[in-house]
Amino acid sequence: MSMFCFQCQETAKGVGCTIAGVCGKKEDLAQMQDVLIYVLKGLSIYAIEARKHGKENDVVNKFVFDGLFMTITNANFDKARFVEKISEGIKLRQDIEVDLDKAGIKIDKSKLHHSALWNPMSTKEYELMAPSVGVLSTNNEDIRSLRELLVYGIKGMAAYAEHAFNLGYTDNNLFKFMQEGLAATTNNNLTAEELVALVLECGSKGVSVMALLDKANTSTYGNPEISKVNIGVKGNPGILISGHDLKDMEELLKQTENSGVDIYTHSEMLPAHYYPAFKKYKHFVGNYGNAWWKQREEFATFNGPILFTTNCIVPPPANAVYKDKIYTTGASGLDGATHITANAHGKKDFSMIIEHAKKCAPPTEIEKGEIIGGFAHNQVIALADKVVDAVKSGAIRKFFVMAGCDGRMKTRDYYTEFAEKLPKDTVILTAGCAKYRYNKLQLGDIGGIPRVLDAGQCNDSYSLAVIALKLKEVFELNDVNDLPIAYNIAWYEQKAVIVLLALLSLGVKNIHLGPTLPAFLSPNVAKVLVEKFGIAPIGSVDEDMKIFLN
Ligand code: SF4
Ligand code: SF3
């Protein structure tokens, strides 16, 4: 077997990608990602040692979350960047060792895991190391399952930590947990119970990291507010910005002001339109297209350049007309695309993309109209009286949290059908790119409250939890599960894993998860989740509807 990866929902045959990734990840890239994770584990072991002696290392903290983010599904397809990152990680670990040594602190190396001791002489050794450090290097399937579940949760945390960091918000406790979690996956003495406890702790850290990012986003750009977003096009050339990073969004808007180039959002960047700070830009004209997986067709008709700030990238086919129009930044990357890095002051220069856009035709219109969103916690709580009255009067029977990710699988039609078949006295609460399965349906409103309330990006699932907790308080309930809220969540990549673990840590039970359960859950681990939290797979729309409405 040349590679093994089962971290996302689309993994081959629902078991694992072994020849190449369904996502487009090739064997050699998969190997470098495995080696990078291994190096991050070794680096974390040293960072933990240094912390014991009062040495918090900001460079290492950033390096670890950035490295983790690079390995998220569809984030980075540039093998050279991984090779560089592995070398840098080993060097950082060696630097800590020298630093501790200088301070007279000796580490007992006989007790260290190999990941903290590995000193390759050349990059050639990275490839040789790969087969022995991947997912399958843990033989016991339950321990493997728990280790991977923990790593994927931490990857999700890393993504959100990076966005918060980019806006100047950090929390060393979160970095400490991420590193301790990574190190824990190298400890053969940990029992399954201890690993389960770490997975659950990861969930509560997930709540903290989403709260931190929420604070970063809303303090910097204001609270999202009800907004109508144009899905048609204007006559100027445009730049399409995708991914999740709002700092990049802001920079691009600033640098394109008065340039004659319009800015359009794609996929998970749509919620940028809900923030007051971005509304003031007249050239911020709309959202183009749908969820990430439709990008091959949509990028071709967009005509202008595309900036990826994070996942989800679909590697373009060799003959794609937009192939030379892709730019990446941050943790994202694509072999052959131009990568834009920040200068020493953290500034990014997007002038190359802007000049490129000026030479391109305006986008071709693929749809017309508007979609409505901006129902993050502050906005919904401002409408609380109206919402509570509607629940009390019976006008709203139930809320359905349908947050998460979208993806290519045909079975995801379930979510469109489910939204269509929901009774008219129910409201969908959504966040993440899952919304594209139903956010353009005409589902109407209940007394002025739209039947699809979009809180924002996947991390704004935090908003949905805040709303649920607020309703629990208003209705004076002891248990969040007594609210008229059902959870029918779609997942794809590792940010959905941290969102799920976060909801579990808040006590939410009976979440239905689809379109398939994660391949990385062993039967025993899945059993724990079912017994402890009532997690269930999706069934048919009609059967599930009955279960949810009873
Ligand atoms: Fe396969 Fe998903 Fe891993 Fe890509 S990220 S290799 S599709 S399991
Ligand atoms: Fe979507 Fe990739 Fe997960 Fe942020 S953009 S939700 S899949």
pLDDT string in tens for the chain (550-residue length): 689 999 999 999 999 999 999 999 999 999 999 999 999 999 999 999 999 999 999 999 999 999 999 999 999 999 999 999 999 999 999 999 999 999 999 999 999 999 999 999 999 999 999 999 999 999 999 999 999 999 999 999 999 999 999 999 999 999 999 999 999 999 999 999 999 999 999 999 999 999 999 999 999 999 999 999 999 999 999 999 999 999 999 999 999 999 999 999 999 999 999 999 999 999 999 999 999 999 999 999 999 999 999 999 999 999 999 999 999 999 999 999 999 999 999 899 999 999 999 999 999 999 999 999 999 999 999 999 999 999 999 999 999 999 999 999 999 999 999 999 999 999 999 999 999 999 999 999 999 999 999 999 999 999 999 999 999 999 999 999 999 999 999 999 999 999 999 999 999 999 999 999 999 999 999 999 999 999 999 999 999 999 999 8
CATH of 376-549, one of 3.40.1380.10, 3.90.1150.10, 3.40.50.620, 3.40.50.2030: 3.40.50.2030
Ligand 1 contacts CB of residue 22 (under 6 A)? yes
Distance 82 CA to ligand 1 centre (A): 17
Q: So what's the pLDDT on residue 1?
A: 60
Ligand 1 contacts CB of residue 486 (under 6 A)? no
Ligand 2 atom showing the smallest separation from residue 495 Cα? 3
Dist CA 265 CA 251 (whole Å)? 14
Distance 494 CA to ligand 2 centre (A): 9
Question: Which ligand sits closest to the CA of 2?
Answer: 1
Question: Which ligand sits closest to the CA of 432?
Answer: 2
Question: Which class is domain 227-358?
Answer: alpha beta
Question: Which ligand sits closest to the CA of 405?
Answer: 2
Ligand 1 contacts CB of residue 21 (under 6 A)? yes
Question: Which ligand sits closest to the CA of 461?
Answer: 2
Question: Which ligand sits closest to the CA of 244?
Answer: 2
Dist CA 485 CA 352 (whole Å)? 47
Ligand 1 contacts CB of residue 25 (under 6 A)? yes
Distance 31 CA to ligand 1 centre (A): 12
Query: Using N-to-C axis directions, what is the helix angle for 494-505 and 141-166, rounded to 10°?
Result: 100
Distance 24 CA to ligand 1 centre (A): 8
Query: Using N-to-C axis directions, what is the helix angle for 27-52 and 79-102, rounded to 10°?
Result: 20
Whether the Cβ atoms of residue 303 and residue 358 lie closer than 8 Å to each other:
no
Q: Is 371 helix (H, G, I), strand (E, B) or coil?
A: strand
Question: Which ligand sits closest to the CA of 5?
Answer: 1
Residues in Cβ contact with 6 at an 8 Å cutoff, skipping those fewer than 6 apart: 15, 16, 17, 135, 148, 518, 519, 520
Do the strands 449-450 and 512-514 form a parallel or antiparallel pair, or are they unpaired? unpaired
Ligand 1 contacts CB of residue 3 (under 6 A)? no
Ligand 2 atom showing the smallest separation from residue 491 Cα? 3
Record: fold of 12-219: Substrate Binding Domain Of Dnak; Chain:A; Domain 2 (1.20.1270)
Ligand 1 atom showing the smallest separation from residue 11 Cα? 8
Tell which residue, 220, 272, 274, 282, has the closest CA to residue 249.
272
Distance 264 CA to ligand 1 centre (A): 28
Whether the Cβ atoms of residue 433 and residue 268 lie closer than 8 Å to each other:
yes
Q: So what's the pLDDT on residue 2?
A: 84
Dist CA 149 CA 160 (whole Å)? 17
Ligand 1 contacts CB of residue 18 (under 6 A)? no
Residues in Cβ contact with 365 at an 8 Å cutoff, skipping those fewer than 6 apart: 232, 233
Q: Is 531 exposed, middle or buried (0-12, 13-18, 19+ CB in 10 A)?
A: exposed
Cβ atoms < 10 Å from Cβ of 172: 11
Tokens representing 419 are: 């939204």
Distance 268 CA to ligand 2 centre (A): 6
Tell me if the bond preceding 515 is cis, omega within 30° of 0: yes
Whether the Cβ atoms of residue 120 and residue 39 lie closer than 8 Å to each other:
no
Q: Which residue, judged by its Cα, is nearest atom 5 of ligand 1?
A: 73
Ligand 1 atom showing the smallest separation from residue 519 Cα? 8
Distance 404 CA to ligand 1 centre (A): 17
Whether the Cβ atoms of residue 17 and residue 64 lie closer than 8 Å to each other:
no
Does the fold of domain 376-549 match that of domain 227-358?
A: yes
CA 131 to chain centre: 27
Which of 3, 4, 11, 32 for mutating ligand 1's site (highest number of atoms within 8 Å of CB)? 11
Which of 246, 298, 459, 492 for mutating ligand 2's site (highest number of atoms within 8 Å of CB)? 492
Query: Using N-to-C axis directions, what is the helix angle for 246-256 and 192-221, rounded to 10°?
Result: 30
Distance 493 CA to ligand 1 centre (A): 9
Q: Give the start-to-end residue ranges of the domains of the chain.
A: 12-219, 227-358, 376-549
Which of 2, 3, 6, 74 for mutating ligand 1's site (highest number of atoms within 8 Å of CB)? 6
The CA angle 54-194-404, to the nearest 5 degrees, is 90
Query: Using N-to-C axis directions, what is the helix angle for 141-166 and 172-184, rounded to 10°?
Result: 160
Do the strands 449-450 and 306-308 form a parallel or antiparallel pair, or are they unpaired? unpaired
Whether the Cβ atoms of residue 5 and residue 99 lie closer than 8 Å to each other:
no
DSSP 137-194: G--SHHHHHHHHHHHHHHHHHHHHHHHHHHTT---HHHHHHHHHHHHHTT-TT--HHH
What is the CB < 6 Å shell around ligand 2? 244, 267-268, 292, 311-312, 405, 432-433, 457-458, 492-493, 495-496
Q: So what's the pLDDT on residue 550?
A: 85
